[in-house]
Amino acid sequence: MRDSQPPRSAGNRFLQPWPVREMLCSLAVGAVLFGGVVLSPPVAAALLAHDARTLGPGFVAALEQFRLAACLVGLFALVAAWSPRWAELRLPIRRGTVCVVVAVPLLLAVLAEGLFRVRGLREWGSAFRTPLGLADMHHTGEQSPRPGVYLTRVLNDFRPGDKGRTVTFTIQAFGVRGRGPRHPGPAQGARVICVGGSTTFGYMVTDGEEWPAVLERLLQSVGPVEVVNAGRPGATTWRDYQYLRDRLLPLQPDVVIFYEGFNDMWRGVRRHAAPQEDYGRADVGVPAVESPFRVGPEQTWPLRWSFLTARLGKALEWRFEPSTALPEPKPEALFHPAIVGLYEDNLSAMVRLTRQKGAVPVVTTFAGCDAAGRGAEETRRCLRYVREEVPPLDGTLARRAMDLYRERTRAVAEKEGAYLVDLARLVPHDPRLFADTVHFTPEGERRLAQALATGLLQDPEVSRRLRAPRPH
């Protein structure tokens, strides 16, 4: 009599062929969990949104298609698993092989996740939270930045192979960068407010390196001067007029510095290709808004479930989000007098409004490294930022546009009798001072602040107000 075979141990299951029914059941469970849980809107946003908040409409539509496909695959596999046809059929691979095939990518993903978290710890000091990005910074109502600490990486166009540097933006309670107004009432000394876009904000430099912060340190030689950095990335005179009227002038400044022009040029060019809802005549039909001193609670760095999936989401966003490119207007239509006139009218209105409120307006031209006389390759490199941000402009048209808006700035200063500091001529056109066509390196910020401080103190009225601020 043949001896009975001992029962197979549980460990030998990994050496047995994989039953088709078991494979189909596993596929059904995995597909339903992936489509119903992982790709659900809140979970997908937490995993894939690189700003840890929302996904774009194109990304959401693509995820819905993937979600539907995953659920259909799961349903099909579940129905097929209960068919008698697959009851005894086995695949020619072992369970252990399948486990290894599944485990290896999971282990690699865990390793990659660990490396990303170590890199996050080295770059911005956190292995569990991601820094707030620029998309988190903008306030939805009046476009004031939200209070908080934001980190981003910036690249220098003039350094081949540049891997970038991490810069910190601190937005305080009032919604401006840096130390800001110490309180909403009158300043202890003179109060200077700097109005403009990303070049005033200091987009390419970390806290304390932006030119308004450097200017405050330089002006301490004449007295206790407080400089408020009211620059906001992307702001035009259309936006800044409202901001000046409703939030900045109530701070009772002594001097208001306007560093405007580039964003209006960018918006004016795009206006010929498509309607621009947020650009027009600033002092017509724009109602005043009442704003509290605080613009909202301070933002905190979002807790990140996975750095790896966040990187994946950032890569996929470029694939799924529709292009926002606009049709290119004809070159002769780019600088229509009516469009350029909007900038002049808005800047003039800001100067008049400032003077009406008892402050001294100071107009400046925006600096850049776009000077003529360079070779073709260096010119292309110096104007790269403008050509990428405003595709209708080639090198010749870009320089023409920038010079045109600078001339219009000088014309406004002369017409309104405002003091002009011509920074476009005072700041050297040296690429070493710039991170791109118009944004500065820390050294460029310092050079601009020095030129501006010297210019301010040369005007008798501005100098008097800095040394003896008006009584409040």
- We report the CATH number of the domain holding residue 441 as 3.40.50.1110
Q: Does residue 288 belong to any structural domain of this protein?
A: yes
Final residue in a domain of this structure, among 124, 148, 163:
124
Residue-by-residue DSSP string for 23-75: HHHHHHHHHHHIIIIITSHHHHHHHH-TTSS---HHHHHHHHHHHHHHHHHHH
Final residue in a domain of this structure, among 69, 98, 124:
124
Q: Is the dihedral of CA 376, 380, 386, 390 positive or negative?
A: positive
Is residue 253 a contact partner of residue 362, using CB atoms and an 8 Å limit? no
Do residues 100 and 203 both lie within one domain?
no
Question: Which H or E run contains 168?
Answer: strand 165-171
Task: Measure the CA–CA gap between 441 and 51, rounded to whole angstroms.
Answer: 26
Do residues 396 and 368 both lie within one domain?
yes
pLDDT of residue 107: 95
Do residues 239 and 361 both lie within one domain?
yes
The domain tally of the chain equals 2
Task: Provide the domain limits for residue 390.
Answer: 137-308+325-467
Final residue in a domain of this structure, among 124, 145, 176:
124
Is residue 244 a contact partner of residue 236, using CB atoms and an 8 Å limit? no
Q: Does residue 314 belong to any structural domain of this protein?
A: no
Task: Measure the CA–CA gap between 391 and 247, rounded to whole angstroms.
Answer: 34
Closest Cα to residue 424, out of 240, 262, 267, 263?
A: 262
Task: Measure the CA–CA gap between 472 and 458, rounded to whole angstroms.
Answer: 25
Do residues 91 and 195 both lie within one domain?
no
Closest Cα to residue 215, out of 421, 431, 472, 3?
A: 421
pTM of the model: 0.80
Q: Does residue 6 belong to any structural domain of this protein?
A: no
Encoded tokens for 431: 């690429």
Do residues 427 and 296 both lie within one domain?
yes
Do residues 264 and 396 both lie within one domain?
yes
Task: Measure the CA–CA gap between 56 and 47, rounded to whole angstroms.
Answer: 14
Do residues 44 and 187 both lie within one domain?
no
Do residues 41 and 152 both lie within one domain?
no
Cα 405 to Cα 232, 279, 371, 448, distances in angstroms: 19, 16, 15, 19
Residue 176 in 3-state DSSP? coil
Q: Does residue 130 belong to any structural domain of this protein?
A: no
Centre a 10 Å sphere on the Cβ of residue 287 and count the other Cβ atoms it contains: 6
Beta bridge partners of 229: 177, 194
Do residues 227 and 268 both lie within one domain?
yes
Task: Measure the CA–CA gap between 51 and 150, rounded to whole angstroms.
Answer: 11
Maximum alpha-carbon separation in the chain: 119
Closest Cα to residue 230, out of 288, 275, 295, 285?
A: 295
Q: Does residue 200 belong to any structural domain of this protein?
A: yes
Mean pLDDT by 10-residue block, N- to C-terminus, for the chain (472 residues)? 46 74 88 88 84 75 90 89 77 82 92 92 83 70 74 84 83 84 70 95 94 96 91 89 90 95 83 61 64 64 86 82 59 72 94 95 94 69 80 78 94 97 94 92 96 96 86 61
Do residues 109 and 174 both lie within one domain?
no
Do residues 42 and 77 both lie within one domain?
yes
Residue 84: which residues within 8 A CB-CB, separation 6 or more? none
Q: Does residue 453 belong to any structural domain of this protein?
A: yes
Encoded tokens for 442: 């820390």
Do residues 287 and 398 both lie within one domain?
yes
Is residue 146 a contact partner of residue 232, using CB atoms and an 8 Å limit? no
Q: Does residue 132 belong to any structural domain of this protein?
A: no
Q: Does residue 298 belong to any structural domain of this protein?
A: yes
Task: Measure the CA–CA gap between 150 and 168, rounded to whole angstroms.
Answer: 6
